[in-house]
Structure 1
C-alpha cells in the first residue's frame, strides 16, 4: 500500500534543500573572489624553411598574326622569332632552356628557362625577349620580360574595338595541367566568357584571341586564375588604322591589385600638336576589381608634379583617363586609391604609318638585390622610381653582378633613368624599396616592361604542430 509523506518529513526536506542551495551560492561567490593560480602555455611552434626549388621563367615567344590564312580565319601564324637574353647571378648555377610546345601555332616554340637551387638558396634567374616586325598587317617593336608563372595575374591592356587585335598567351612550364579561369572586366562589369575556361597542358602554350574573351571592348582588363599549376600570362596587342599597321606590343601582367601603383617610365616622343594629336597620346587605364573608390593619378617629371587628377572608380568597371598633351620627355605615373586597383599606361610615337605604341604595366616594389635582363632594342634604359620619403642608393652592376658597378642616388619622390647596354644582364641592389622598368625608344619603336623582385630564397614558415 502506498503511503503519503507526512507534513513534517516534507518540511525537513525543504529546509535541507534551502540550506544546500545557500551553501552552494556562498561557495561560488567565495571562489570568484579568491585569486586562483594561473598557468599560461605558449603554443608550440617551429620556424621551418622550405626546401628550395628550381627557378623558372617563361617567355611569351615571337610575334604572332591571326587571320592571314583566308581559308582558316582563326589560324595563328608566327611572324617573327624573338631574340632572347638570359642569365643567372654571378657564381650561381647556369640556366637551361626548355622549349614549350604551341600546338595552335606552327614553328612557334617559346622558351622556358630553369635553374637548379644553389645549395639551400634558390637561384636568381632572369630572361627577356624582343622582336621587330614590318609587315602590312603587323608592324612595330615589342619587348617583354620572361616571368615566373603565377596562380593569379592581371592583364591591363589591349582592346577589341574596330582596328584592334589581341592574343592572350598562356604558358605552363610545369609538369601537371593548369586549369585556367579568365574573368574579363569591361563596360558591363566582370564577365566569365565560355572561352575563358580552359586547360593548359604541361610544357605548352595556349593562344586565346582576346575577342573571344571580351567582344567590342575599348578598355578590357583580364584576371587570370590558375589551379593545378601556375601559368605565365602575356597579351600581344596590335592596332591597324585604315589598313595601316599602327604598332604592336607584348603586355606584361600586373601581379596583384594594390592601393598604390607606380608606372616608372612613360616616354613621350612626339610634341602636342603633331598630326593625330586630337587623339589621346597617353592614357592610363584603371580598375578597382571589387570596391568602388576614388583614385588620385599624379604625373611627375624630374621630381616635379606635372598634373594631378582625381577620378571615381566603379567596382568592376575599367576606366581610362587621358593624361593630356604632355611635352616630349619621360614621366612617371602614380596612382593612389582607398581600394586596391590595377593600372597601366598606354603611349604612342604617333598615329601614322610606321608608328608604334607601348603598354607600360605597373611595377611591383623591389627591395634588396635582383637581376635585370635587358633585351635587344633601341636605346635601352632602366628607370628607377623612389616613392619613399628618403633618398635611395642604388648599385647597378653589369654582367649579372660580375662586372663594373655604377652607383646611383634616387632622390625621394623622383625617378632616375640610366642608359644600359642591350642584350646584357645587370644586378640591381637598392638600399630601400624602389620600382623599376626597362624601356626602349627609337624611330617607330616603343616598348617597356617592369622589373620584378627576385625570389632568391624561400620565406621561413611558422609551423604549429
Structure 2
C-alpha cells in the first residue's frame, strides 16, 4: 500500500467485485485512514496554492500587465538667459532672407542689467554675463565652495545678490548662473535699447530668455514700411536644426526656405521674414528646434513715409492654451487714438491683441480688459471668431487711458501678444511695444530693470484677489525690505520704480505672488519722449525635477 492510500476491508472488496457500481461502505473505513486522507487533501491544496503563487510571480505578456514608468531625479542645471543684440537697421532691400545691416545711429545705446540671487547662507552662485563666444563681459561671482558638514546653518538668512548695472553690449549676450543646492539659480536680466535719431529711434526692451525647442512669437508685420527680422541664437554646445511655421492673416503660409535652418553652437542666425511671408499685416511664427535649444526674438520696426513709427522686440509668449493673459498694456486717450488710426497708413498705430490659432478649428475668443478700477468694456463687445491657422487682430482702443491687463479665453487653444503704442500726432515720431502672454506669478521671479528711464511694475489679477510682494535689489547687492501690493479681482495695479533705495541705485526686484492667479510686466518709457516698451515677468527658477524613464531598445 502506497503512502496516503486508504486501507479497505477484504470482504468489501470482494462484494464490490461481485456487484459493479457499488462503492465502499463508510463505516468500513478506519479512523486512522480517514485522518491520513484529510492530511493528503490538505497537502494537495497547499501545493495548489504554491502553484497559484508561483504563477502570479511568473513573467506575463506585456498586454496583461500594467507597469508604472520609473521616475528618476534629474540634477538642476545652470540658469541660462539669452539677451538679444542691439536693434539694427536693414541696409537696402535684402536678397532672399539674409539681412545686411547698416551702421547704428550715433545716439543708439544698448545695455544689459541683471541680478542673481544668493543662497540663504549668503553665497552667490557662480555667474557671469558673456557673449555667445569669448571671455565674459562681467564676472558676477566666482561661486562658493560647498559648505562642510561641521559648518552650522545661519539662523537668519543672509540676503544678498550679484548685480550688473547698465553693461553696454554690442551683440547677443548670455547671463549664466551655476546651480546651487540642487536648484537652478534665481537670476534674471533685461536688455534695453534706445535711440533718439534715425529710422530706429525709440526704445526696445526684452527679458533675457531661457532657450527652448518650441517657441511662439505673434505680432510681426511685413507690410510696406514694416520690417521684421527673426534672430535665432544657439547658446548651447549642440547644433540646432530649426523649422519655422508661419501664420498669416488668411491662413498658414508654406514658404520655401523655412525648414532645416542650421544654427551652429555659439552663433546667431538672422532671417528677414518678408523674404518668407511678404506683405503680411499680421504674422505669427512658431520656431521649432531639434538638437540644441534656441532663443528667438523678432526685431519689429515701422516707418511711415519718412517718419519713424517705432521699434521693439517681439519675444516668445506662453504656449497655445485656452486662456492667455498679458500685463503692462498702456492705452492712450481714446479720442486721440480714433483720430490717428483713421488716417491712411496708421491702422496699426493703436493698441491691439494679436491672436494666432494653430489648430484646424476656429476659435471664439472673449477678450476682457482690466484697469485700475475694474473691467472696462470694449466698444465691439470683446468677442471675436479667430480663423483657424491664421492670425486675427482685435482692437483694444476705445477705453479710458491707463494701464491694463488683457485676459483672453476660448474653447480652442491659441497664442497671443498685445501691441501697445505711444504717440498721437501723425507728423511726429512714434513708438510701438509688444507684451507677450505670460504665466501666472509664483515665487522668486527676478525682474531686472534698466538703469534709466520711466519704469513701472504692473500687476493684474483677472479673477480673485491676489497679494504680490516685490523686494528691491540694489546696486550694492543688498536685498531690501519687501513691499506688498493687494490686487483686487478684476483690477490692475501700477507701481512706479524709484531711482534708488536706501541711497543705492535700484537694479531689480524679487517678485512673488499668493492667492488667486496674478500676472506681471515691466512697463518702460522715457520722460519727454514717446518711447514705450513692455517686458513680461519671466518664469521663476526651477527646482529639482523628476522625469519618467523608459527602458527599451
TM-score, normalization by structure 1: 0.85
Give the Cα separation in 1 of the matches to 2:254 and 2:128: 37
The yes-or-no answer on 1:245 pairing with 2:318 is no
Aligned pair count?
A: 425
Give the Cα separation in 2 of the matches to 1:204 and 1:119: 31
Partner of 2:318: 255
Mapped contact 1:43–1:464 kept (Cα < 8 A): no
Partner of 2:88: 64
| Residue pairs, 1:35-434, within 5 angstroms | 43=67, 46-67=70-91, 74-77=99-102, 79=104, 80-91=108-119, 92-100=124-132, 108-197=170-259, 198-273=261-336, 276-278=340-342, 279-280=346-347, 281-290=350-359, 291-307=361-377, 308-350=381-423, 351-389=426-464, 391-399=465-473, 402-421=479-498, 424-432=507-515, 433-434=517-518
The yes-or-no answer on 1:459 pairing with 2:545 is yes
273 and 201 in structure 1: CA distance in 2 versus 1, 3 angstrom threshold: same
Local SS of the residue matching 2:518: strand
| Greater Cα offset, 361-370 or 240-249 | 361-370
Mapped contact 2:334–2:397 kept (Cα < 8 A): no
Local SS of the residue matching 1:311: strand
Give the Cα separation in 1 of the matches to 2:66 and 2:133: 53
Per-residue deviation at 1:414? 2.0
TM-score, normalization by structure 2: 0.72
Partner of 1:15: none
| Greater Cα offset, 79-88 or 143-152 | 79-88
Give the Cα separation in 2 of the matches to 1:83 and 1:367: 28
Gaps of 5+ in 2: 1-51, 58-64, 135-168, 500-505
Partner of 2:47: none
CA-atom RMSD in angstroms: 2.7
Local SS of the residue matching 1:141: strand
Give the Cα separation in 2 of the matches to 1:303 and 1:420: 21
Gaps of 5+ in 1: 1-35
Give the Cα separation in 2 of the matches to 1:74 and 1:225: 21
Give the Cα separation in 2 of the matches to 1:352 and 1:101: 43
| Residue pairs, 1:18-33, within 5 angstroms | none
Per-residue deviation at 1:170? 0.7
Mapped contact 1:296–1:337 kept (Cα < 8 A): yes
Give the Cα separation in 2 of the matches to 1:96 and 1:170: 21
| Greater Cα offset, 365-374 or 253-262 | 365-374
Give the Cα separation in 2 of the matches to 1:416 and 1:460: 37
Give the Cα separation in 1 of the matches to 2:89 and 2:414: 31
| Greater Cα offset, 323-332 or 245-254 | 323-332
Q: Between Structure 1 and Structure 2, whose CA radius of gyration is higher?
A: 2
Give the Cα separation in 1 of the matches to 2:95 and 2:180: 51
Mapped contact 1:238–1:247 kept (Cα < 8 A): yes
Tell me which of 505, 513, 525 is aligned to 1:441. Answer: 525
The runs of at least 4 consecutive aligned structure 1 residues that moved more than 6 Å come to 36-42, 69-73
Local SS of the residue matching 1:368: coil
Local SS of the residue matching 2:454: coil
70 and 371 in structure 1: CA distance in 2 versus 1, 3 angstrom threshold: closer
Partner of 2:138: none
Per-residue deviation at 1:115? 1.0
